[in-house]
Amino acid sequence: MSNLGEHILVVEDDTQIRNFICYSLHSEGYQYLTANTGQGAMNSLVSEQIDLMLLDLGLPDFDGIEVIKKVREWSEMPIIIVSARDQDKEKAAALDLGADDYLTKPFSATELLARIRVALRHLYKQGGNKQQTSIQVGNLKIELDKRLVFLNDTEIHTTPMEYSLLTLLFKNAGKVLTTGYIIKEIWGVGYGKDTQALRALMAGLRRKIEKSPAKPRYIMTEIGVGYRLVDE
């Protein structure tokens, strides 16, 4: 397993967690820099070549959310949030501001490295996706030019709303999409927080594509935050 020696900025004020992350990155051959404050992160971001940032939301000087806002003014680099278990609102806000993914403490090295791989893959895929006519995850496939969905090579009939939802998830495979973001993309900004409608739409879609909707294989529920289409 090798990588391109990407430079990862680790922003975390907890020494133990920071060391654990750095050790995991080092074992995979990633280069890394560390910061333990928001200001330290900003200093590295403006002076160094950074490919991806791991960002703790609870920093001693300012909120990680503020770091995301500032970075997104000039950079599309993948940002993976590291947050505590009870920070669902903050996670959703960070994702809506442009963070790519999140890890909930405590997390394993395997989980950390998997999320980094997905985020970097998305980064390298950007721009190369324009002529794509079909997308596939496992045995589920969408033919974008014909607006058709196939499961195990059998066509699945979806409503236009279900098709929009599935396409949105596919185009962001591996990424968590917040409930608010999905509603805005599917229904438009005026719909605010009508999570009931989304839940109903999701249930209908799952019945069509999941063998066992209660134990989904493709669309995972990220409790308190949103949904994620698996990416492999």
Contact between 58 and Ca ion (CB under 5 A)?
yes
Q: State in angstroms the smallest separation of the CB of 90 from Ca ion.
A: 12
What lies within 8 Å, CB to CB, of 90 at 6+ separation is 57, 65, 83
Exposure letters 155-167 (e unless 16+ CB within 10 A, then b): ebebeeebbbbbb
In total, the chain counts a number of residues equal to 232
For residues 85 and 104, the answer to whether their CB atoms sit within 8 Å is: yes
Q: State in angstroms the smallest separation of the CB of 96 from Ca ion.
A: 21
The SS3 assignment for 150 reads strand
Give the type of residue at 115.
R
Q: Cα(230)–Cα(232) distance, rounded to whole angstroms?
A: 7
Q: State in angstroms the smallest separation of the CB of 101 from Ca ion.
A: 18
Structure tokens at 128: 């190369």
Q: Which stretch binds Ca ion (CB under 5 A): 37-45, 49-57, 115-123, 148-156?
A: 49-57
Contact between 63 and Ca ion (CB under 5 A)?
no
Q: Which is nearer to Ca ion, 58 or 224 (CB)?
A: 58
Q: Which is nearer to Ca ion, 12 or 162 (CB)?
A: 12
Contact between 98 and Ca ion (CB under 5 A)?
no
Q: State in angstroms the smallest separation of the CB of 67 from Ca ion.
A: 12
Size of the residue set binding Ca ion (CB under 5 A): 3
Q: Which is nearer to Ca ion, 58 or 216 (CB)?
A: 58
The distance of Cα 196 from the centroid of its chain, to the nearest Å, equals: 23
Among 7, 13, 96, 187, contact with Ca ion (rule: CB under 5 A): 13
Closest CA to 175 of 79, 108, 88: 79
What lies within 8 Å, CB to CB, of 195 at 6+ separation is 179, 183
Q: Which is nearer to Ca ion, 87 or 172 (CB)?
A: 87
Q: Which is nearer to Ca ion, 6 or 56 (CB)?
A: 56
Q: How many CA atoms lie within 13 A of 114 on its CB side?
A: 12
Among 6, 56, 100, 222, contact with Ca ion (rule: CB under 5 A): 56
Q: Cα(188)–Cα(190) distance, rounded to whole angstroms?
A: 6
Q: Which stretch binds Ca ion (CB under 5 A): 12-20, 98-106, 171-179, 199-207?
A: 12-20
Q: State in angstroms the smallest separation of the CB of 59 from Ca ion.
A: 6
Q: State in angstroms the smallest separation of the CB of 176 from Ca ion.
A: 20
Q: Footprint of Ca ion on this chain (CB under 5 A)?
A: 13, 56, 58
